[in-house]
Structure 1
Amino acid sequence: MEKIITYEDFTKVDLRIGTIIQVDDFPKARRPAYKLTIDFGHLGVKKTSAQITTLYKKHDLIGRQIVAVVNFPAKQIANFMSDCLVLGAVKEHDVFLLHPSTKVKNGVTVS
């Protein structure tokens, strides 16, 4: 276990469900990555990058629902601004995207 946080700390993290609507290559990233455009329903569309090229093909990601943190400040990654963080389980160098087991409305809170 890393650091212990309080329940109040956890409630500050805004986790939401979104659907990937666009996937582009990101050749300027230090490690192979995609640029993802994600629809979060009433929260709007957000973009991020993800180092998931070893397990996922671009065409397989379109329409896939994911879990993401949507209340981080924007962060510049190379020439790209990321405004959310997609969550995944990491095993060695592979990232396995977290997702709901059934389709839910975009923007739904994860708790």
Structure 2
Amino acid sequence: MDNIITFEDFTKVDLRVGTITDVADFPKARNPAYQLTIDFGDLGVKKSSAQITTLYKKEDLLNRQIIAIVNFPTKQIANFMSECLVMGVVKEKDVYLLHPETKVKNGSQVS
């Protein structure tokens, strides 16, 4: 494996649990995507673009807990500023969201 990182490298990645509070279509995205608004509790609310339209309907995403990296710099995607990276597993071009098995407090750190 060529991409070996140290434990210290891993500790720099801030993975948190948040709840999706709003989902909007993102017609200006290059690939089909949603604009997500996610509540991370004490960390506040962040926005993210996610290419998850093939497996998830907007109404199914509302109030769903997800896991995201919250310490990336803001990235512009078309006319939208993405503030975190929602985590998922890619299988045959579809993205399956990572989520806690049971409901936990928004902002909980993944370790």
- Which piece of structure 1 moves more, 28-37 or 2-11? 2-11
Superposition TM-score, scaled by structure 2 size: 0.98
Letter in 2 for 1:3: N
Question: Following TM superposition, where does structure 1 have runs of at least 4 consecutive aligned residues deviating by more than 2 angstroms?
Answer: none
Letter in 1 for 2:59: H
CA RMSD, 1 decimal: 0.7
Aligned to 2:22: 22
Letter in 1 for 2:10: F
Q: Distance in 2 between matches of 1:45 and 1:109?
A: 15
Do residues 101 (structure 1) and 101 (structure 2) align? yes
Cα deviation, 1:22-65, whole Å, max 9, x if unaligned, reads 00000000000000000000000000000000000000000000
Aligned ranges 1:1-111 → 2 under 5 Å: 1=1, 3-111=3-111
Instruction: Figure out how many residues of one structure are paired with residues of the other and give that number.
Output: 111
Q: Distance in 1 between matches of 2:2 and 2:77?
A: 26
Letter in 2 for 1:25: D
Q: Distance in 1 between matches of 2:36 and 2:2?
A: 29
Q: Distance in 2 between matches of 1:77 and 1:12?
A: 24
Q: Distance in 1 between matches of 2:29 and 2:93?
A: 16
Q: Distance in 1 between matches of 2:68 and 2:91?
A: 19
SS in 2 for 1:110: coil
Superposition TM-score, scaled by structure 1 size: 0.98
Structure 1 residue runs of 5 or longer lacking an equivalent are: none
Q: Distance in 2 between matches of 1:2 and 1:56?
A: 34
Cα distance, 1:2 vs structure 2: 5.3
